[in-house]
Amino acid sequence: MDLAKYRTLFLEEASEHLAEMSRALLVLEKDPASTDSIDLVFRMAHSTKSMAASLGYDAISEIAHRLEDRMQVVRAAGRIEDAADLPLLFRGLETLERMVDVVRETGEPPPPDPELAQVLGSAPGLKKKVLRRR
């Protein structure tokens, strides 16, 4: 596999995905039930996760995966119900942007952010919603 070629492809496509995610989160700030925006954030997180995993960028893949999981819950609810969710989603997006910048600037995998991964995976809103749906 031509790693340099795929790194370039990744940087282009991941940057587009994160820009789309940012626009969709801004819509969700005004309309927490925007189905198109909820689906878009979910798909962009999912796609970023797969691309990053293919190149061994585990830190990016992990944060994207956690965002995808959170958006799965939001999708099931049909809206962002927890006021704490949006700031957390924005924080996840900003972290992904920073990590992609590290790849762009160094060509190396970025370091992990275990604290954010833990917060995204275990925020009370997520657990509460999952339990409520069982």
Partner 1 sequence: MKGRVLVADDAAFMRQMIREILEAEGLEVVGEAVDGVEAIDQFSKLHPDLVTMDIVMPRRSGIDAVKGILELDPHARIVMCSALGQETLVMEALQAGARDFIVKPFKPDNVIATLAKVLEKES
Rounded Cα gap, residues 13 and 127, in angstroms: 32
CB-nearer residue toward partner 1: 68 or 113: 68
Rounded Cα gap, residues 7 and 89, in angstroms: 25
Report if residue 22 touches partner 1, rule: CB under 8 A: no
Collapsed DSSP state (helix, strand, coil) of residue 108: coil
Report if residue 47 touches partner 1, rule: CB under 8 A: yes
Instruction: Tell me how far, at minimum, the Cβ of 120 lies from partner 1, in Å.
Output: 14
Helix (H) or strand (E) holding 54: helix 35-54
Report if residue 10 touches partner 1, rule: CB under 8 A: yes
Binding site for partner 1 (CB under 8 A): 1, 6, 9-10, 13, 39, 42-43, 46-47, 49-51, 53-54, 65, 68-69
